[in-house]
Copies of this chain bind each other. A is one copy, B any other.
């Protein structure tokens, strides 16, 4: 064991120990801790901005893209926004302690399931420093300790943020080890972290497909993977075509860089001749490039500037850009087959007036969120009314789709008897 992984073991042990103190807190105590943290962030604005300016300068020198630099960058407005988010989390109902169900059993036990914190959560993420506060506040709200591993680009900002969180913990007589950060940029520490299943109960990767794959393939800790959205909209023959145009625009153009934006539109053959040219005409002025399948290409001859033939592998690609695949399908069944082959289980939509086709689509498509006559862009904790979003899961265990605070909890079975024995 190297010194570094030895200290990681220590970190895990400390986090587990700290988690016991957090689990015993009342909702009121956790809310007060978070309000104090929000105030502390604003009161230490200068220190945060100075560390961040150093991170940004170092990042610029290291040749980070403007996009990455923007994710990294904080100003007073952004810090206030982060503090506001912490206050919003503080104000949410505390899920811990809820009784999920219970009954008196014939065997003499009175049995209830009580919602409890998971224990220790680990989060691995990339350049954005707001994730540090976001994940920490969600974990503290639910009584979990957390080990954070942010991107190396943001190490100075994160050091200040974590020290402010630890200050807030200490002022509330809580162990500072409740929130710890791995600041050593050595990548082998990530691999070592993934082996800490003895102490860490759940791992949340927040980043691109590569990070999720790394975690799924190497982690002994249960992982919540997700975030990759290869999303489809099926335009059935009975769809309201005029209404479909702004809906597809919303799904593609409103925020192309996010996981719930649409990748591929599948158009029923019976309306393809009418709809595809209208779609091209609608999206062209918005800067969208259509990647057309073989059948679709024939209907789009009038739009040579914005239409290119789709490459087979592009059906599996999360665009995150103003690119959109379009293809013709013979039926909704045919569309479902396409989605089963290429979808990532994130968000899938059908536009139809047919109850039968809608119900078939809902049943047959295996995805976290299935939409009828709505944009895929709604897959989001806020839009779904969850109050906060921990992550979006595209796996099926524990939590699927937008994960709220509940996803940071588990339950224990509590049974009371009168010196009751099993017969």
Contacts and interface: CB of A to CB of B under 8 A. Distances in A.
Interface of A: 20, 23-24, 103, 105, 107-109, 111, 114, 116, 118-119, 197, 201-202, 216-217, 220, 222-223, 240, 243-244, 246-247, 250-251, 254, 340, 351, 358, 362-364, 366-375, 377-379, 383-385, 395-398, 400-402, 410-422
Contacts of A375: 417, 420-422
Contacts of A417: 371-375
B421 A246 contact: yes
A interface SS class: mixed
A240 B415 CA distance: 18
B217 A366 contact: no
B217 A220 contact: yes
A222 to B, nearest CB: 4
B24 A378 contact: no
A246 B421 CA distance: 8
A87 B375 CA distance: 44
Given A368-B412, A411-B400, A419 B384 contact: no
B107 A378 contact: yes
A79 B116 CA distance: 41
Given A384-B111, A416-B374, A421-B377, A396 B201 contact: yes
A368 B114 CA distance: 10
* Residue among A20, A23, A340, A421 facing the most chain B CB atoms (10 A cut-off): A421
A285 to B, nearest CB: 18
A422 B216 contact: no
Given A369-B412, A421-B247, A364 B20 contact: yes
Contacts of A370: 412-415
Contact of A373 (B107, B351, B398, B419): B419
B421 A250 contact: yes
A383 B222 contact: no
A103 B383 CA distance: 12
A142 to B, nearest CB: 12
13 contacts: A109-B374, A119-B396, A201-B397, A358-B416, A370-B414, A370-B415, A371-B415, A372-B414, A372-B415, A373-B420, A378-B420, A401-B412, A402-B413
A401 B101 CA distance: 14
A27 to B, nearest CB: 14
* Residue among A105, A109, A373, A374 facing the most chain B CB atoms (10 A cut-off): A374
B202 A397 contact: yes
A237 to B, nearest CB: 16
Nearest to A337: B20
